[in-house]
Structure 1
Amino acid sequence: MRPNKKDELVSKALEVFYRDGFHATGMDKLVVETGVSKTSMYKHFRTKDDLILAALELRDRNFREWFLNRVAEMADTPEGQLIAGFDALAEWFEEDNYRGCMFIKACSEFQEADHPIHQQAARHKQILLEHLTGLAKAAGAKDPDCLGSQMLLLKEGAIVSSVLINSGAPARDAKAAAQVLLDQALGHQAA
C-alpha cells in the first residue's frame, strides 16, 4: 500500500463508523465499504479497536478544526465566540449526512470508563471544555469554569436533542439559553 492508503482507509472507515456505528460495523463490512482487503487492513491496524481509535483521532482533528475556525469566522470576541458556537452547530445539524456526535456514540457503545475508545472520546470533550472555559475566562466571566461547563452542557444537549427530534431547533434554543448564562456570568442586566 502507498503511504497515503492508510490515511484513505481511516477516512473511509470514519465515514462508515459515523453512518452505521462501531459495533454494527464488522471488518467484513469495512472491507466491502473501503475497498481494502482484510489482509491490508490488518497490516495497518492489528484490531478493529485500533482502526476505531484512528478514525476518532481523525474525526477529532477534523471537527475541532472546522468548529473553531467557523466560530472564529462568525465572531471576533470571546463572548461572541461562545454564542457563535451554537450558530455553527445549527449549520452542522442541517448537513445531509448529519448523524449526531461520533464521540457521544463512542462513549455509549464503549461504556467502560477505562476502555481506550471511551477515553479518547472523553478527551475530545475535555479539549472542548478547556476551549470554552478559556473563552469564558477571556470574556471576563465571574466563574469561567462554571460557564465553560454550562456551555459544553448546552452544546452536548443540543446535539443529542437534534438527533432525537430530527431538528436543528435545539441549536437555536441552546443559543438562547447560552446568552442568558453569558449575560449572567458577565454581570449584564437583562433588558
Structure 2
Amino acid sequence: MTESPARGKGRGARERVLVAATTLFQRHGINATTMEQVAAAAPVSKRTLYAHFPAKDDLMVGYLRHLSESGATLEAMLDRTDLSPREQLRWLFTIPDGTNAPIRGCPFTDAAAEFPDPESPVHRYALERKRRFPQQLAELAARLGAVDPEALGEQLAILADGAAGRAMVLNDGACMRYGLMAAEALVDAQSRRPE
C-alpha cells in the first residue's frame, strides 16, 4: 500500500518537529523552549506543529517517546545484544564524548521535575519509564550473577539516577565515573561465588 503525498509530508513534519524539540530541549531545557521556537527550528508552521502536538504536554510526551523508541537514552544500552553485561553497565554511566553542551542528565527525570503534577501526561510517562528502569537493571544484574537481582536493580537505578543528576548540576562527567565505581563494587559484592 502506498502512502498519499500529504501523509508522507505530514509524517516528515512530525519527525522534524521531534528532532527540533530534542535539540532545543537538550540545549536550553524544556521550560525555556517555546512551541514557537520548535516550529521555527523544525521548520514548520505553527498550524502544522499544533496539528501534530496540540499542547506542549503532547509535544513533551512525543519527545520522550521518540527518545525511548530511537534508542537515544542511556537505558537503551540495556537492550543491546552486542554488548556484554559488564559493557552495558559501563555504558549506563557514560556521557557521550565530543559535545561542549551542558550535561542534561536523565530526560525522564528532567521532564518529571518540570511537570511535577503526578496527573500530567508528561509526568506519568516519565514515571512509567522510571518504573521500568530498575526492572531492566534487575535483568542485567541476573546476567551478572547477582544473588538478589531485584535489590541490585533498584540499587543500580538509584546510583545511575543520582550520578546523572549530580553530573547535570555540577556539569561534571566525573560524577558518572564515580557512579560506575560504586555500581561495579555493588555488582561484585552481589555476585554469586562458586561453592
Specify the TM-score bucket, using the shorter chain as the normaliser.
0.7 to 0.9
Matched AA of 1:57: R
The within-5 A match list for 1:39-50 is 39-50=47-58
Shift of 1:38: 0.8
What CA distance in whole angstroms lies between the structure 2 residues aligned with 1:93 and 1:161? 18
Match for residue 164 of structure 2 among 151, 159, 164:
159
Name the structure 2 match of 1:148.
Answer: 153
Q: Which runs of 5+ in 1 are unaligned?
A: none
**CA-to-aligned-CA distance 1:56-97 (integer Å, 9 cap, x gap):** 111122324884179655x42x3x2463234xx334276333
Matched AA of 2:151: C
Name the structure 2 match of 1:15.
Answer: 23
| Secondary structure of the structure 1 residue equivalent to 2:96 | helix
Name the structure 1 match of 2:94.
Answer: 90
Task: Give the TM-score normalised by the residue count of structure 1.
Answer: 0.83
Matched AA of 1:68: M
The within-5 A match list for 1:100-179 is 100-179=105-184
Are the aligned partners of 2:13 and 2:42 in contact in 1 as well (CA < 8 Å)? no
Please tell me whether residue 4 in structure 1 is matched to residue 12 in structure 2: yes
| Secondary structure of the structure 2 residue equivalent to 1:90 | coil
- Go from structure 1 to structure 2 and tell me whether the alpha carbon gap of 1:85 and 1:152 turns closer, same or farther (over 3 Å shift): farther
Across the aligned residues of Structure 1 and Structure 2, the Cα RMSD in angstroms comes to 2.6
- Go from structure 1 to structure 2 and tell me whether the alpha carbon gap of 1:155 and 1:51 turns closer, same or farther (over 3 Å shift): same
Shift of 1:149: 0.7
What CA distance in whole angstroms lies between the structure 2 residues aligned with 1:106 and 1:93? 23
- Go from structure 1 to structure 2 and tell me whether the alpha carbon gap of 1:81 and 1:129 turns closer, same or farther (over 3 Å shift): farther
Task: Give the TM-score normalised by the residue count of structure 2.
Answer: 0.81
The within-5 A match list for 1:30-109 is 30-61=38-69, 62-64=71-73, 67-68=76-77, 73=82, 75-76=83-84, 78=85, 80-81=86-87, 83-86=89-92, 89-92=93-96, 95-97=99-101, 98-109=103-114
Matched AA of 1:27: M
| Secondary structure of the structure 1 residue equivalent to 2:94 | helix
More helix by share: 1
| Secondary structure of the structure 2 residue equivalent to 1:23 | coil
Shift of 1:109: 0.6
Q: Which runs of 5+ in 2 are unaligned?
A: 1-5
Name the structure 1 match of 2:3.
Answer: none
What CA distance in whole angstroms lies between the structure 1 residues aligned with 2:98 and 2:166? 13
Matched AA of 2:45: S
Query: Could you tell me the percent identity over the aligned residues?
Result: 28
Are the aligned partners of 2:75 and 2:133 in contact in 1 as well (CA < 8 Å)? no
- Go from structure 1 to structure 2 and tell me whether the alpha carbon gap of 1:94 and 1:103 turns closer, same or farther (over 3 Å shift): farther
Shift of 1:12: 1.0
